[in-house]
Structure 1
Amino acid sequence: MIFRCSVILTIMLSSARPALAQTYDVGAGLGISSSGVIELRATAYETCTVVSAVPDVTTVDLALSSAQRLGEITYICNSVAGFSRRIASENGGALVRGSDRIPYRFAHGGASPLAFAPTELTSPVTTTVAPFGAITVGETAPVSVFMPGSITGLLAGAYEDTVTVEITAQ
């Protein structure tokens, strides 16, 4: 997290001094004093980032219907209003090869404002996440896919999709 700080210093000095023409006795305890005031101000600028620990290309097993963990995503956001998160599939929640489609479900673990059960990504999943303490230093959560579990009738070849996770400060 990056904090940029601007500091404004205001220094006020005062001194109780006798007029120049006066003489005084140092031993008489005249109580000469001075004081200073320093006023500090700093601004923490809003920062929201998402960091993926999911490999750029992740291979999944088409014949496995249980959860296949892809990796982890870390959210860092210091916005006092939280953030909105959008998770979208380039191919509407399906691995695609030409005109062949293999639908899958996407799941997100972690703290309750981040987590959701296995969901088809036929349209983007948008969530509003209220601010909470852990998110300002980084909240990490796993992401998984659930495949249909059958390869019967599939043509050989590479099936692909791209999932994008983006956050925007509120």
Structure 2
Amino acid sequence: MVRIVFEKPDAIALVAEVFRELGYEGASMSEITARTKLSKGSLYHFFPGGKEQMAAEIMAHIDAWFVKEMFEPLEGGEPRAAIGRMWETTDSYFRSGRRVCLIGAFALDETRDRFSTTIRGYFQRWIEALAGALRKAGLPGAEAKALAEEAVVGIQGALTLARALGDETIFGRSLARLKQRLETATD
């Protein structure tokens, strides 16, 4: 049975989950239609540029969500509260380690070359936003940058390891350790 989708954001969410499961290269149009239950006509209506447009719009959607929910609070909010919110937002968005980071996954395969600017911008903004909050919380610039990189690396590594081992509790434990590390550094 074909699924009825009334809005493009509905299609973006459905196709994003297929990319999360299969990666960009593994997500053929036939797999996308089968897994989303959307017809090819519906998909091409929303994404006339095909799979590449789907991926670009999904990454733009993810980036916009992170800008609103994480990066802007880190850049403009009270630093300790914004960093605390980052941990909650990260845990919630990645469903406590059960959801892969699609932009991170795209960074690991040939997709990286197609979308290098978007991928690079996402990770750079996250690191810079967190480093800025850490500087506002009193850390020297180089230490703030190193700690921000460590946190983003730790989050991405925990997602990968939790998925590889089929144990999402790894993600929760890693977030708790990273959170403690940043709290200790800013006390």
- TM-score scaled by length of structure 2: 0.22
Q: As a proportion of its length, which structure holds more helix? A: 2
- TM-score scaled by length of structure 1: 0.23
The structure whose Rg is larger is 1
- Which one has more relative contact order, counting CA pairs under 8 Å at least 6 apart? 1
Q: As a proportion of its length, which structure holds more strand? A: 1
